[in-house]
């Protein structure tokens, strides 16, 4: 069974449905590529997937260490490259809530971030810059 079913709606827009949950995502081509930029672009979703995956993997590591990273945020910047047009770099800044994380836990979480399956699936030429801000 498929994981996602996607339909082209026309005018450079798609609607993807997660088969198991029924949740939907609309994509729109970005303004710099003939689109309206009214929704996530497919490359925005790529960058978002990386950030969400890293947070999830760190959440698993935090659970194993019996600490909480609830409320942690990340700001994601996607940088496009040309020839060929592609995502050239993704910069992600993680901001952790003010908690008393030990140095050991910080190291464990930062190492966990580098084991994210999305990151392992991306082309090695794509530059990933991760910044961890511990409040």
Domain containing 98 — which CATH number? 3.30.300.20
Domain that holds residue 126: 42-134
Same domain for 110 and 48, yes or no, is yes
Alpha helices, DSSP H, located in the chain: 42-64, 103-113, 117-121
Looking at the structure of the chain, the number of domains it has is 2
Place of tokens 């966990």: 112
pLDDT-derived band at 135, boundaries 50, 70, 90: confident
Same domain for 75 and 50, yes or no, is yes
Same domain for 118 and 81, yes or no, is yes
Same domain for 53 and 99, yes or no, is yes
Residue 66 has pLDDT above 90, yes or no: yes
Determine the average pLDDT of the residues in 71-82. 97
Kindly give the pairing relationship between strand 13-18 and strand 4-10. antiparallel
Please give the biggest Cα pair distance in the chain.
51
Same domain for 10 and 70, yes or no, is no
pLDDT-derived band at 38, boundaries 50, 70, 90: very high
């Amino acid at each position: 069974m498929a994981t996602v079913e996607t339909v082209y709606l026309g005018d450079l827009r798609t609607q993807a449905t997660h088969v198991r949950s029924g949740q939907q995502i609309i994509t729109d081509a970005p303004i710099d590529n003939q689109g309206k930029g009214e929704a996530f672009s497919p490359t925005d979703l790529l960058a978002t997937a990386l950030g969400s995956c890293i947070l999830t993997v760190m959440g698993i590591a935090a659970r194993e260490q019996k600490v909480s990273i609830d409320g942690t945020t990340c700001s994601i910047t996607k940088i496009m490259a040309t020839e060929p047009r592609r995502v050239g770099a993704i910069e992600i800044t993680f901001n952790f809530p003010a908690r008393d994380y030990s140095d050991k836990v910080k190291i464990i979480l930062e190492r966990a971030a580098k084991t994210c399956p999305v990151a392992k699936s991306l082309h090695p030429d794509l530059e990933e810059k991760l910044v961890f801000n511990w409040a």
